Amino acid sequence: MMKSKKILNFLLIFLVCIVIHYISTKYILQIEKTYFVSIYVFTILVLITTLLIIEFLERKYREYLGYFFLIIVTLKLVAAKIFMNSFENWRENEFKFSFLILYLISLILITRFAIKKLMTEKDD
For the chain, the structural domain boundaries read: 2-119
Which residues fall within 8 angstroms of residue 91, CB to CB, at 6 or more apart? none
Mean pLDDT of 53-76: 91
Residues 67-115 have pLDDT tens digits of: 999 999 999 999 998 998 888 877 788 888 888 999 999 999 999 999 9
Whether 50 and 72 have beta carbons less than 8 Å apart is answered as: yes
Residue 1: pLDDT over 80: no
Residue 42: pLDDT over 60: yes
User: Of residues 86 and 12, which shows the higher confidence score?
Assistant: 12
Q: pTM above 0.75?
A: yes
User: Of residues 117 and 34, which shows the higher confidence score?
Assistant: 117
Whether 73 and 110 have beta carbons less than 8 Å apart is answered as: yes
CA distance 100 to 41: 14
At 46, the amino acid letter reads: V
Cα–Cα distances (Å) from 73 to 79, 92, 93, 108, 109, in that order, read 10, 25, 24, 11, 12
Residue 19: pLDDT over 90: yes
Which run of H or E residues covers position 99?
A: helix 93-119
- Quote the mean pLDDT of the chain: 88
